[in-house]
Amino acid sequence: MTTDASLEILIADDDRVPRRLLRRMLERWGHRVIEVENGLQAWQALNVESPPHIAILDWMMPGIDGIELCRRLDQRVDAPLVYTILSTSKRDESDLVHALDNGAHDFQSKPISPGELQARLAVGRRLVEMHDRLQASLNEMERLATTDVLTGIANRRHFYACANRALDQAGTRGNTVSTLLLDVDRFKEINDRYGHSAGDSALCQIATLCQGLLRPTDMVARFGGDEIVILLPNTLLDEAVTIAERLRLTIANTALRLENRDPAKLSVSIGCASSSASGIGIDELLGRADAALLKAKSEGRNRVVSDSGTTQSSQPLGSV
């Protein structure tokens, strides 16, 4: 929503003369105007990601009339509010009730009174701005409910919801879902030596590295403590191991800044597991990834182990 006095307003009227007169009036008031001559053009201009704030619609138009446009706008889901004003000569109460029932917000009698129209535009502005503030608050609440506060990646709850959905789809379509469970090696030593703020900083940087190396369809989430879990939809186990090895190498070769300390290189151990069978839950899949992670730790850390026994590693790094 614009924060200045200007609104973006759509005028839809198949009668050219009143349409142009209305446009000149609105532009004199400082508004930005989109002018169309029929309902189809109006719908094309309104059914977009960032539509005009207000639509002044002639009730009777060829093709798609004003009532049908209001109905379509009212039925859109997760879309910005377009405040609709029906321009009409109708006075019958049943007609007005019918329009309101189909999503119209307001009416403007013909011929248009400038003072009355300004008042109706002010009402429309207030409602659109209120809707935008409410939507922004809802978006922020959703972000907070699904995001880990420290790292900015998904939290455990959101991961479980997405993983269960991916497994359900895999069972139906025969796709393979893989998970990676990543643990920072000797993380306690980092906290003990440099403090928890240094450990937090390292974890945030590792999370960012993971996000930068994965596909848009993958998910990186904080599982708890220093563990990061990664969801890889439509990914076979050997592909997951390759991705995990790329993550391990990148992290091992990246100097991380630990608060005011000199940059340090850390290592991670990663357990991989995959499933394409229906009825497999995320807890079972994570249990297999965790068992592979424990094996990676027991074999010396700084390595990737899959639940099939595949191991990839390099010489483990020393303590930081």
Q: What is the mean pLDDT of residues 66-74?
A: 94
Please report the pLDDT score of residue 84 as a whole number. 96
Please report the pLDDT score of residue 280 as a whole number. 79
Q: Each residue of 138-193: pLDDT tens digit?
A: 988 988 899 999 999 999 999 999 999 999 888 778 889 999 999 999 999 888 88
Residues 196 and 221 in one domain: yes
Q: Each residue of 189-218: pLDDT tens digit?
A: 888 888 888 899 999 999 999 999 999 999
pLDDT greater than 90 at residue 249: yes
Q: Each residue of 210-243: pLDDT tens digit?
A: 999 999 999 999 998 899 999 999 999 999 999 9
Domain ends where: 95, 127, 146?
A: 146
Q: 193 versus 253: which is more confidently predicted?
A: 253
Distance CA 111, CA 25 (A): 13
Please report the pLDDT score of residue 17 as a whole number. 93
Q: Which residue has the tokens 């008042």?
A: 119
Q: Is residue 36 part of a domain?
A: yes
2 pLDDT band, cuts 50/70/90, is very low
Domain membership of residue 194 as a residue range:
156-313
Handedness of CA 17, 19, 24, 28 (dihedral sign): positive
Residues 18 and 166 in one domain: no
pTM: 0.67
For the chain, how many structural domains are there in total? 2
pLDDT greater than 70 at residue 13: yes
Q: Are strands 54-58 and 8-12 parallel, antiparallel or unpaired?
A: parallel
281 pLDDT band, cuts 50/70/90, is confident
Domain ends where: 113, 146, 179?
A: 146
**What value does the mean pLDDT of the chain take?**
89
Domain ends where: 111, 146, 181?
A: 146
pLDDT greater than 50 at residue 317: no
Residues 281 and 308 in one domain: yes
Please report the pLDDT score of residue 121 as a whole number. 94
Please report the pLDDT score of residue 150 as a whole number. 93
Please report the pLDDT score of residue 63 as a whole number. 84
Longest dimension (CA), the chain: 84
Please report the pLDDT score of residue 28 as a whole number. 95
| φ, ψ of residue 256 in degrees (nearest 5) | -95, 140
Please report the pLDDT score of residue 276 as a whole number. 79
| Contacts within 8 Å (CB) and 24+ apart, 167-174 | 167/275, 167/280, 167/281, 167/282, 167/285, 169/233, 170/233, 170/234, 170/275, 170/276, 170/278, 171/276, 171/277, 171/278, 171/279, 171/280, 172/278, 174/276
Question: C-alpha dihedral over 88, 91, 97, 102, to 10 degrees?
Answer: -10
Q: Is residue 62 part of a domain?
A: yes
Please name the amino acid found at residue 130.
Answer: M
Q: Each residue of 295-312: pLDDT tens digit?
A: 999 999 999 999 875 566
